[in-house]
Amino acid sequence: MFKGSFVALVTPFRADLEVDFEALGRLVDFHLDQGTNGIVPCGCTGEAATLSHEEQKAAIRFVAERVDGRVPVVAGTGSNNTKEAIGLTAYAKEVGCDGALLITPYYNKPTPAGQLAHYRAVAEAVDMPIMLYNVPGRTGTKMTPETIAELARTSNIVSIKEACGSVDQVSQILAQSDISVISGDDALTLPMIAVGASGVVSVAANVAPAAVAALCAAALDGDYAAARETHYRLLPLFHGLFMETNPMPVKAVLARMGLIENHLRLPLVPMTPESSARLDPIIQGLVKM
């Protein structure tokens, strides 16, 4: 159901650290113009951890209305509180989103039984397509292929964003279920598609949307020569955008592109000048300045 390049959209802030909806609109229009296949607001890259629920809902609604059905919108609605996750997911459905991205509950570190109960509770409460999100580097816990395969038996759990850094994990998931796997690591998009993944939820697509979409399209069409060429051309960017904590580098680049102002909410801060200097030669020729 979800296929191609989905951008893990940043949330732009003004100097007063309120959400900059004017800039958010520019970002959405930029992606629609550049061929991004889907938009994911209010995930980790969107700094959802520092958004109030009211702000998160406002951003989700704004993006859904701005996109107006032209590409799928998969809203970040996850929480380590199942009741909150249900409420945010229900809201995403109400305002017309096409799916919900739900991170594995963080901090609580639920067992597989708890993960099953959490996701089933959300899926039963809200009848909309759900994309699981496995990112142990952020949550402190990893979903096993067996747990994912069991959740795939639920009809509206249709996809998983895999960001555990393992192509073997993707292979094991697809060997046990028919769930759609989406890469959560830009640098692993091509190898993951090679073993059966359907695309990527991409940080790099924020700044190079056409190129990331082209990489996915070529790989999904079986044109691995073209996909490899784009992969290796973008590889320095994939790594450069994580030289400091995401989304610090990608927001710095977007600011250089004139699309947003470079503001983050504490405890995140702008990149150091030293890291910015290292990033500058990487982005030359890869992003439209």
Q: From CA 194, how far away is CA 220, in angstroms rounded?
A: 8
Percent above pLDDT 70 for the chain:
100
pLDDT at 288: 74
Give tens-digit pLDDT for 259-280: 999 999 999 999 999 999 999 9
Flag whether pLDDT at 137 surpasses 70.
yes
Under DSSP, is residue 200 helix (H, G, I), strand (E, B) or coil? strand
Annotated catalytic residue 133: yes
pLDDT at 2: 95
* Ramachandran category for residue 142: left, alpha or beta (phi over 0 → left; psi -120 to 50 → alpha): beta
Cβ contact 90:127 at 8 Å: no
pLDDT at 286: 82
Mean pLDDT of the chain: 97
Domains of the chain (ranges; CATH) run 4-223 (3.20.20.70)
pLDDT at 289: 63
Give tens-digit pLDDT for 176-234: 999 999 999 999 999 999 999 999 999 999 999 999 999 999 999 999 999 999 999 99
pLDDT at 1: 76
Q: Which of these is catalytic: 133, 142, 224, 232?
A: 133
Grade residue 287 by pLDDT with cuts at 50, 70 and 90.
confident
- Please name the amino acid found at residue 7: V
Q: Which of these is catalytic: 57, 91, 119, 161?
A: 161
What is the Cβ-side half-sphere exposure of residue 77, based on CA atoms within 13 angstroms? 34
Cis peptide before 112 (omega within 30 of 0): no
Q: What is the pTM of this model?
A: 0.96
Give tens-digit pLDDT for 94-124: 999 999 999 999 999 999 999 999 999 999 9
Flag whether pLDDT at 285 surpasses 90.
no
